Amino acid sequence: MSSVERNAKRTILWAALGAAGVVVWLLCVRAEGPGETARAWRAVLVNFLFFTPLAAGLVVWLAVVQVTHAHWPGRLEQLPRLGMAFAPVSLVALVALWAASTQWAPWKPSLGLPQGAWLDRNFVFARDLVALAVFWTVAGAYVARRARGPSPRLAGWLIFTYAIVFSLLGFDLVMALDPVWFSTLFGGYYFISGMYAAVACWTFLSVFHPARTPDRLHDLGKLVVAFSLMTTYLAYSQLLPIWYEDLPQEVHFPLPRMRFGGWQLVGIGLLATVYLGPLVVLLTRWAKRTPRFLGAVTMFLLVCMWLERWWLVEPTFEPAARLGAPELAMAAAFLGALGLAMEEGRRRLPPVAGLGEDPA
């Protein structure tokens, strides 16, 4: 089978997956009635919160490799630039969430929220849309510049912009869903966990790349372990002061996720997989250097990290864990969109200079 035929086949499969997800999601909205509309739109939010920092984080890893003067990725360094192609999807999804925000967003003037105008619904989405557009603009400029050669200054600005923009998105679209609870660490947790998802995705894609070597996979596996520990540290750093302060407004957020409605089982599962799992299953050299095993672990990690985003959002609104067709259908839609975007990016985005062409 020629490369053109393989590309066409992959494009059709991704398009079919995305279209099927959208159709099933629309059927769920119609079949379940008005009471479930908010849940369906929160499914869009959950997937936006997972796929957007993942795709953006891929581009940021390209910058991280440059500013650290790393040469070990070799031709695998071509892969992270593909995240840039997801930019239009993420912006359209955020606009859709804004347009439908009256049906699902909890920020209503009648509630008299203590944050006042800061949580005005239109102000929230306007600033988040501008911030996300700024990030993708910087990312696009960096990918274009990287095709001509290194640009350490622009790479540094891209990393800085990612940290600021995705901290804001974490504060606005996750933490502020419960206006009573707040944490100054949450923004850092959100953007670091986005980088964690991105390096897991980069590792998974690298397993199928002809330029992979055991040494390169080993290095990627070590990054997965490192960022799992960083994410775990930030999660623990939030939980510890909540535990010893025992303040009602602090306990309000973790309590349902740790005690009630089946959410505690999800939390235990995430502790065993997303947070501590890589430290155990990727501890040995063999685990990090074996393509099939490393690919299976990173794919499983990505699934569990999607569940982590769902676990962050839904307990604020649902007393019991319900994972069903709306969430899974929208996940399929976003996954199909990401696959299509990466296929398009493979064809249209300029390759990183000095590494050779990325094979089809």
Number of domains making up the chain = 1
| pTM of the model as a whole | 0.94
**More confidently predicted of 256 and 224:** 224
Residue 1 lies in a domain: no
What is the spatial distance between Cα 191 and Cα 169, in angstroms, rounded to a whole number?
A: 9
Position 12 pLDDT exceeds 50? yes
Share of the chain above pLDDT 70, in %: 94
Average pLDDT over residues 347-353: 87
What is the spatial distance between Cα 194 and Cα 52, in angstroms, rounded to a whole number?
A: 8
Residue 181 lies in a domain: yes
Residue 349 lies in a domain: no
Residue 355 lies in a domain: no
- pLDDT level of residue 357 (50, 70, 90 thresholds): low
Among 26-40, 84-98, 294-308, 311-325, the minimum mean pLDDT is found in: 26-40
Position 196 pLDDT exceeds 50? yes
**More confidently predicted of 326 and 181:** 326
- pLDDT level of residue 77 (50, 70, 90 thresholds): very high
Q: Tokens standing for 302?
A: 């990505």
Q: What is the pLDDT of residue 223?
A: 96
Average pLDDT over residues 248-258: 80
Residue 211 lies in a domain: yes
pLDDT in tens, 282-341: 999 999 999 999 999 999 999 999 999 999 999 988 888 889 899 999 999 999 999 999
Q: What is the largest CA-CA distance in the chain?
A: 63
Residue type, 235: A
pLDDT in tens, 219-235: 999 999 999 999 999 99
Position 360 pLDDT exceeds 50? no
Position 256 pLDDT exceeds 50? yes
Q: What is the DSSP string of 239-298?
A: HHHHHHH--HHHHTTHHHHHHSTTHHHHHHHHIIIIISHHHHHT-SHHHHH-HHHHHHHH
Residue 103 lies in a domain: yes
Residue 235 lies in a domain: yes
Residue 219 lies in a domain: yes
Q: What is the pLDDT of residue 247?
A: 73
Query: For residue 214, what are the contacts with CB-CB under 8 A and spacing of at least 6?
Result: 289
- Start-end of H helices in the chain: 3-32, 37-67, 87-99, 101-104, 121-146, 152-173, 186-207, 214-245, 248-251, 254-259, 263-270, 277-281, 285-289, 291-313, 325-348
pLDDT in tens, 150-165: 889 999 999 999 999 9
Q: What is the pLDDT of residue 111?
A: 63
Average pLDDT over residues 116-132: 91
Q: What is the pLDDT of residue 35?
A: 64
Range of the domain at 59: 8-342
- pLDDT level of residue 108 (50, 70, 90 thresholds): confident
Q: What count of Cα atoms within 13 Å lies in the side-chain half-sphere of residue 169?
A: 32
Q: What is the DSSP letter of 314?
A: G
What average pLDDT is seen over the chain? 90
